Amino acid sequence: MSTLTLTPTRMRQGIWEGMVKQSGSGVPQIRVTHLDITVPDVEVKKAETEGYWQVQVPVPATAISDGVQVFVIADATDDTTLGQFTLIAGEVLGEDLRAEVELLRAELDMLKRAFRRHCTETS
């Protein structure tokens, strides 16, 4: 069981950032993977608040491509997954969103018809 708790904070200029709260001592050992490959240059810096550490993960340019890309953040000492972040890009996203919107519209139309039918039957 990990002594670390991860809280995502933001993604800016190709760098994902988060805060790690540690109940133990020493510098937290964080490993980030993408497609089971370790992401290089992950930085862990002491934060101003006691017991907290700032984590910065530079997103490699090779990981930016069409589709869904998942980065897994883990405690390297016991391999416990602390969290993850996801990048979604490209035409796959556009097609998925359009299909989802069409499905939502169809469901909304069905609900409107059912509601109108219900109102007519009860009046």
User: What's the rounded Cα separation, in Å, for the pair 41 and 114?
Assistant: 56
The total number of structural domains in the chain stands at 2
CATH code of the domain containing 46: 2.60.40.10
Q: Under DSSP, is residue 11 helix (H, G, I), strand (E, B) or coil?
A: strand
| 97 shares a domain with 68 | no
**pTM, 2 dp:** 0.73
| Positive or negative torsion for Cα 8, 10, 15, 20 | negative
| Cα separation values, 107 from 85, 104, 117, Å | 30, 5, 15
Per the structure block, which two tokens stand in for 3? 């002594």
Cα 31–Cα 37–Cα 42 angle in degrees, nearest 5:
35
Per-residue pLDDT at 47? 94
Instruction: Report residue 122: phi and psi, to 5°.
Output: -90, -5
Which pLDDT band, with edges at 50, 70 and 90, does 33 fall under?
very high
| Containing structural domain, residue 17 | 4-89
| 75 shares a domain with 25 | yes
Range name among 8-17, 77-86, 100-109 with the lowest pLDDT average: 100-109
**Digit-coded pLDDT (tens) for 84-106:** 999 988 766 666 777 778 778 88
Amino acid identity, position 75 = D
